[in-house]
Chain A
Amino acid sequence: MSVTLQPKLFRFGERALVLDCACISINFSKLEIQKRIWSLAKICHDSGEFEDIVPGNNNLTLFFKDSKNIAFWSKKLHKLLSNIEVQAETGKLIKIPVKYGGEYGPDLNKVAEYNNLDPQEVISIHTSTQYSVLFLGFQPGFPYLDGLDKRLFTPRLANPRLSIPAGSVGIGGEQTGIYPAQSPGGWQLIGRSAVSLFDSALTGNNSAQPSLLSPGDTVQFIAIESLNEIEEARLEAPR
């Protein structure tokens, strides 16, 4: 069966336009769609007509500086998307050292039991994948990662913790990720990283990048042994 599917385009509030690619997900993988979204986001960014450009999961929201331009861009976006050239790898590979288990990963054993694995296997599966940063949201620098191995899917906690430490690495259902700042959280915590995901002090000038990760980057977790290593990693955090 051959179906021609166009992404949906609709207005959101007064000054935003949403491109929803959910209906083309039959033809492309999640990552392939997301790559198109990043490329489109870049073109839109370079035009200078947008206040903010926010990729989501399978979608892109464009916040206009001037709502008068919405009609013009509505026409233009369809054309841009069908002709888009997906750029070759542009993201960076970021290795994030994690101390798994013990007081830093209080749910590691539970995740292992739930999936009929031993804790060491959980660590080895979690560290053997390269995850793609699909988009950032929820908190400054919080990455939505693609690629968690099915063998590690684990339901969220029945009762979320009221406060979990910054750097906590967790699994929530089919997702894995790192909490950049202390916050409430319902994910199963398997470890902790000392890498700073977001540093607003690094923003004295416009070119500085406050977020360690950007959409399109690749993340690999590395198991480390001690708190000292965590502290050293903090000092050597790539940026």
Chain B
Amino acid sequence: MIEFIESGLFTTVQDLGRTGFRHLGVSLAGALDRQALILANRLTGNGDNDAGLELTAGNMKIKFHRDAWFTLTGAQYEIRIGDRQIWHGWRSKINAGDILQLRGPLSGMRAYLAIDGGINVPVCLGSRSTLMSAELGGYEGRTLRSGDKLTLGEKRSLSKPIGAVQRGYSNEIRALPGPEMALFTQESRKIFWSSQWQVSNDSNRMGARLSGEALALVEEQSLNSHAVMPGTIQVPPSGQPIALLADGQTTGGYPRIATVIEADLWKLAQTRPGSKVQFIHVSPNQADDANYEWEQYFYRLQRAIDANS
């Protein structure tokens, strides 16, 4: 069991999300930076879909009630157990009774804490991830608070620390043109790909709101409601795009100008409000190549982990 002495500002239980229920209006949810959660889980001896904690900001103090191995990935945090400083991206051991202290983020936006055995909250609709808008999954469907206690899954047998280099962040985010790209004026299409978009303060797990020069349609028209998904960049009448993230709603009616590729969605999740991103137009083949690069990264990682255990 782990106990939250300080919970941080916005800490939730997340796995890789909830599939199979989008036709009922249930969002995918799950880690915003999926690759960081998978990395933390692999290093900690967990399955890719085991639940970990997603940390957004603030100081945290977590008391461990059993010996455990843990790894923090994603956004950089200062990590301490008592006076001992722990490396980011390395699995480390903590003893029962000790307190893990986290301060940050120093850079990036969202960190992932995996603990061996995973966080053992009940499975809801096939997933342990928290969907706050519907108050379901995770721990009571909400963010964690001081005093909350979470149980852990079965201990893994691990013997020594091991770490990995995370892939580098850039603010260039690759995207495919969306179904309604052609409805925008030529000028707006050019602006979309060529300008730097600022991530606004209203961004949350549902979507990253972007601000910049307003985009305009050739002519006003109302669309039939259609499915949307994490990565969909939709443009409401204000002309300021919204890139949907994991908790984004399942259907919408705004024109979809583009879709962030799966391999780069993590970059959007790691961009802080106030910072800028630029979208890079790619083809479906380039998107496939980008996914393949991630597979290769995890393949090499797994070989290194296997060789060291």
Query: Complex formed: what's the CA distance from A181 to B26 in Å?
Result: 12
Determine the chain B residues whose CB is within 8 A of the CB of A63 once the complex forms: 19, 22, 229
Tally of contact residues, A, Cβ under 8 A: 43
* Shortest CB distance B174–A (Å): 11
Query: Complex formed: what's the CA distance from A183 to B178 in Å?
Result: 29
* Shortest CB distance B28–A (Å): 8
B179 and A142 within 8 A (CB): no
Per-residue contact bits, chain B 110-131, to A (CB 8 Å; 1 contact, 0 not): 0000000000000011100001
Contacts of A135-167 to chain B: CB distance below 8 A:
135-142, 144
A41 lies within 8 A of chain B by Cβ: yes
A196 lies within 8 A of chain B by Cβ: no
Given contacts A14-B284, A140-B136, A200-B136, whether A135 and B225 have CB atoms under 8 Å apart is: yes
- Which B residue's beta carbon lies closest to that of A65? B19
A215 lies within 8 A of chain B by Cβ: yes
B249 and A139 within 8 A (CB): yes
Counting chain A CB atoms within 10 Å of each CB, which of B21, B25, B284 scores highest?
B25
A215 and B23 within 8 A (CB): yes
**Chain B interface extent, by class:** 35 or more
Query: Complex formed: what's the CA distance from A206 to B21 in Å?
Result: 11
A13 and B232 within 8 A (CB): yes
Contacts of B222-237 to chain A: CB distance below 8 A:
224-227, 229, 231-232
B176 lies within 8 A of chain A by Cβ: yes
A109 lies within 8 A of chain B by Cβ: no
Per-residue contact bits, chain B 22-41, to A (CB 8 Å; 1 contact, 0 not): 11111000000000000000
A61 lies within 8 A of chain B by Cβ: yes
B251 lies within 8 A of chain A by Cβ: yes
Determine the chain B residues whose CB is within 8 A of the CB of A214 once the complex forms: 24
A137 and B261 within 8 A (CB): no
B3 lies within 8 A of chain A by Cβ: no
- Which B residue's beta carbon lies closest to that of A52? B22
B150 lies within 8 A of chain A by Cβ: no
B135 lies within 8 A of chain A by Cβ: yes
| B251: contacting residue among A138, A180, A210, CB under 8 A | A138
Determine the chain B residues whose CB is within 8 A of the CB of A144 once the complex forms: 225
Given contacts A12-B178, A144-B225, A211-B24, whether A137 and B249 have CB atoms under 8 Å apart is: yes
Given contacts A51-B20, A137-B25, A198-B24, whether A14 and B134 have CB atoms under 8 Å apart is: no
A93 lies within 8 A of chain B by Cβ: no
Given contacts A54-B23, A138-B251, whether A12 and B179 have CB atoms under 8 Å apart is: yes
* Shortest CB distance A33–B (Å): 10
Determine the chain A residues whose CB is within 8 A of the CB of B225 once the complex forms: 56-57, 135, 137, 144
- Which A residue's beta carbon lies closest to that of B262? A14
Given contacts A139-B249, A200-B125, whether A59 and B135 have CB atoms under 8 Å apart is: no
Determine the chain A residues whose CB is within 8 A of the CB of B249 once the complex forms: 137-139
Query: Complex formed: what's the CA distance from A180 to B135 in Å?
Result: 12
A200 and B227 within 8 A (CB): no
A67 lies within 8 A of chain B by Cβ: yes
10 pairs of A and B residues whose beta carbons are closest in the complex: A137-B251, A61-B227, A54-B227, A13-B259, A57-B224, A56-B226, A200-B136, A52-B22, A211-B24, A136-B25
Binding site for B on A (CB under 8 A): 10-16, 18, 20, 22, 41, 51-59, 61, 63, 67, 135-142, 144, 180-181, 183, 198, 200, 203, 206, 210-211, 214-215
Q: List 13 A-B contacts (CB under 8 A).
A: A13-B176, A14-B176, A14-B262, A41-B23, A53-B22, A59-B226, A61-B226, A137-B250, A181-B133, A181-B134, A198-B134, A210-B125, A211-B25
| Beyond known contacts A14-B262, A53-B23, A203-B125: 13 more, CB 8 A cutoff | A12-B256, A13-B232, A56-B224, A56-B226, A59-B227, A63-B22, A135-B251, A139-B25, A140-B26, A181-B134, A206-B126, A211-B24, A215-B23
